[in-house]
Amino acid sequence: MSETREITLPSLIESVDEAAQTAEDFAKSRGFSEDLISSVDLAIRESVANAVKHGNKFDKTKNVEVKFADVSDGLEITVRDHGTGFAVDDIPDPTNPENLLKSNGRGILFMNSFMDEVNWENHPDGGMVVKMLKRR
């Protein structure tokens, strides 16, 4: 079994489930623990949902690319969209009292909560790339 797996998904809500299932299959095939798989599940769902909804804005001509890698530290997941990008620091903190009753903006908080490392960068050819690591 390969140490990496890459999938390309359409900008559909259904891609969230597909990415999560692929993450689980890959993690199991590489012998990662159930606890790790459970933590990764929500993070992969949130990252792909972000890419489909906020990145690609459901544009059917744009895909979401997801890469899973079994690295020495743990499970690394990279999600790339083809949107206009954004500055992560500009996203309001959803736990600030003035933001508590907003209906969105909690996905990145969940990714940060359930993964050990989350790094965002603008891809040189456009779009956002989020790279996440869950240590084994």
Partner 1 sequence: MSDITITERQAGDVTILDLNGKVTIGEGSVALRTTIRRLLGEGKNKILLNLGSVGYIDSSGIGELVSSFTAVNKEGGTLKLLNLTQKIQDLLAITKLLTVFDVFEDEGEALASYN
> Residues in the site for partner 1, rule: CB under 8 A?
13, 16, 42, 45-46, 49, 53, 94-95, 100-107, 109-110, 113
Rounded distance, CA 127 to CA 108, Å? Answer: 17
Q: At what angle do helices 107-114 and 34-50 cross, to 10 degrees?
A: 150
CB 106 → partner 1: shortest distance, Å? 4
Rounded distance, CA 120 to CA 85, Å? Answer: 10
Question: Which residue, 45 or 80, has its beta carbon nearer to partner 1?
Answer: 45
CB 124 → partner 1: shortest distance, Å? 29
Rounded distance, CA 120 to CA 78, Å? Answer: 10
Q: How far apart are the first and last CA of the chain?
A: 18
CB 4 → partner 1: shortest distance, Å? 26
Question: Which residue, 15 or 63, has its beta carbon nearer to partner 1?
Answer: 15
Contact 79, 47 (CB under 8 A): yes
Question: Which residue, 102 or 123, has its beta carbon nearer to partner 1?
Answer: 102
CB 96 → partner 1: shortest distance, Å? 9
Question: Which residue, 45 or 62, has its beta carbon nearer to partner 1?
Answer: 45
